[in-house]
Amino acid sequence: MPSFIRRGAMTAAGVAAAVTAALAIAPGGAVAADGPTVPPQVEVEIPGPEQGTAAGSGHTLVPAEGRDRPAPRLSAAETAADGRVTRLAGTGSTDDRLDIVVLGDGYTAAELPRFHEDARKIWEQTAAVEPYTTYRGLFNVWAVDAVSNESGVTGDPDRATVRDTAIGSYFWCADIERLLCVDQTKVDRYAAKAPEADLVVVLANSAKYGGAGYNEPSQSLGYEGIATASAGNPRSGLVAIHETGHSLGKLADEYFYPGYPGYEQYTGSELPDVNISTLGADAIAAQRVKWHRWLGEPSPDGGTVGAYEGGGYFVKGINRPTDNSMMRSVDKPFNLPGTEAMIAGFYRHAEPVTAVTPTDRVLRLRHTAEAAPVELAPADGRQLTVRWYLDGKELRRFAGRDQVRIASLTPRLLDLRAHKLTVSVEDRTPSVRDPKIAATMKASITWTVRL
């Protein structure tokens, strides 16, 4: 069954639209069996009501492309600013860091300084939530300027309002006021200007509550997903963080729909998501599956890890690890299994160490100042183990250092032949208990050194 039918939508109209789409629309757009070609559609998550605590209110299908709008008409100065890239945070190589690309929509050329301020605020808000706080050193954050002809976005303050913007953001997507959609083709055009994009955030120049989660990986650029949010509304930023739980953590929603037809009882098979299960706590422990390593532990979101009924949109038949976490309510932290899954997502794109001195040239002893420095992603409470080796033999006196000067490798250790100097860095955080995830949290760098 397609995921958008399993996930559903909060409104009956949304469910009907999903069913219709399942019968007529193939991924990326297709020809209906007895009808004309239909445009590509994508599944997005709908944010919960502004005053509620629900993280989201289901999924629906929306057009991948935006509404018809006038083509941008920029002056020479505006064209020069359009697409400009600024590094907002991080110093690591794009090969060794998780790169977040922040795009602004509905900002005129004169408003770009405010976009940069808004982009920094959304990153600081994200970095204040664990495990982002501990692991902020694994990230690069880039801002890409998108110059709009008009300030604001379509659908704000009302659905009759239309703005000529660079990315085509609009409220009232799928007839849902708070659903803030974008034109993915235009998103990709701007995201491609950054050195690399692993995750994309689109900030609308609006204070109106809203957002959306495009949680399928990009086929063209390879990024994990798109989160949209209103730059001027603090709560919609939390929704964007929730969306990264899907895209980076591959986490399922832990909320459910009391009293909503079709979601009273789940009767299907076990689900692949790491944070929801048809099994109870005893069965999870006995079968050593899902979050069995965390059972009985106190969780950051409050309470104890166990099996709490309700999740994956169903009131009964599916269990979640804790009563109320970020994947159920955006004002709560990630629970322990969720934290572990997020760290796993970080390390799909990042390494705990980056070489400052290039490894593609020989480091020579005669240059007394020559060194092999590395940049360690800030530990901030992690147990980061750093070891140095010469030709496979550990140099214990250098343990924990972020550099080794070649002159400190005395002539007794070096002769006229080339030698291999290696640093090995491993993250041994207690927030990860799964050995398969732990195996991805280490890296090594090797230089050639000689007299």
Reduced to 3 states (helix: H, G, I; strand: E, B; else coil), residue 189 is: helix
111 domain-assigned: yes
Residue 424 sits in a domain of what CATH number?
A: 2.60.40
* Domain final position from 248, 280, 302: 248
- Chain Cα centroid distance, residue 346: 8
Residue 220 has pLDDT above 80, yes or no: yes
Q: 215 with 288: CB under 8 angstroms?
A: no
Residue 329 has pLDDT above 50, yes or no: yes
* Domain final position from 207, 231, 248: 248
Q: 201 with 101: CB under 8 angstroms?
A: yes
103, 226: one domain: yes
- In the DSSP assignment, the letter for residue 176 is B
Q: pLDDT over 70 for what percent of the chain?
A: 85
Strand ranges inside 153-298, DSSP E = 199-204, 211-214, 226-230
Confidence of residue 51 (pLDDT cuts 50, 70, 90): low
290 domain-assigned: no
Q: Which of 61, 52, 69 is nearest to 11 (CA)?
A: 61
339 domain-assigned: no
Residue 38 has pLDDT above 70, yes or no: no
What amino acid is encoded at 164 in this protein? D
- Total domains in the fold of the chain: 2
- Tokens coding 62: 């929306």
180, 36: one domain: yes
304 domain-assigned: no
Q: Would you call 320 exposed, middle or buried from its count of C-beta atoms within 10 A (0-12, 13-18, 19+)?
A: buried
Residue 21 has pLDDT above 60, yes or no: no
* Domain final position from 218, 248, 278: 248
Confidence of residue 383 (pLDDT cuts 50, 70, 90): confident
Q: Which helix (H) or strand (E) holds 124?
A: helix 112-127
Residue 40 has pLDDT above 80, yes or no: no
DSSP string for residues in 276-300: -BSS-HHHHHHHT-TTGGGTT-B-T
- pLDDT of 283-306, one tens digit each? 999 999 999 999 999 999 999 999
Position with higher pLDDT, 413 vs 200: 200
Residue 33 has pLDDT above 80, yes or no: no
101, 241: one domain: yes
pTM score of the predicted model: 0.86
Backbone angles phi, psi at 19, to 5 degrees: -65, -45
Residue 78 sits in a domain of what CATH number?
A: 3.40.390.10
Domain encompassing residue 206: 1-248
331 domain-assigned: no
240, 386: one domain: no
Q: pLDDT over 90 for what percent of the chain?
A: 69
- Tokens coding 261: 């037809």
Q: 174 with 39: CB under 8 angstroms?
A: no
224 domain-assigned: yes
The average confidence (pLDDT) of the chain is: 86
271 domain-assigned: no
Residue 325 has pLDDT above 90, yes or no: yes
Neighbours of 243 (CB within 10 A): 28
21, 162: one domain: yes
285 domain-assigned: no
Residue 2 has a pLDDT of: 29
